[in-house]
Amino acid sequence: MQNDLKNKILQNRDDSIKDTFCYLFFEEGFFHANLIEIIIKNVEEYIIKNDIDIKNLLIWICQCVDQCFISHHDKDDYYCIKNYSSKIESKWINGWKPRIQLLVEKL
């Protein structure tokens, strides 16, 4: 069970796997709140100390999502968040990202 959950979480590491949060956001420009919630809930359920794979994935997701928002606001960058709203960005900054950072600290 734990390995299945870990594998499900780590699918996001490969942003070429369709229907994952990372693929849909990084490759297609759609931020799916329900999928980031699933990642967070799966990690909360999985949480095993010193799991470097999960820890690195969460750090990578935070860095990439931050970069997507930066790129979206850069008029010289072609990346566009197709369903962008200030509400989504605010929820990322004040909600999802801090939750992920807390999980990183627990790992």
Q: What is the pLDDT of residues 6-46, one digit of tens each?
A: 999 999 887 778 899 999 999 999 999 999 999 999 999 88
| 96 or 49, greater pLDDT | 96
Domain residue limits at 68: 2-106
Look at residue 1 and tell me whether its pLDDT is greater than 70.
no
Please tell me the predicted confidence (pLDDT) of residue 39. 96
pLDDT value at residue 27: 93
**With 0-12 CB in 10 A as exposed, 13-18 as middle and 19+ as buried, what is 86?**
exposed
**Domain count along the chain:** 1
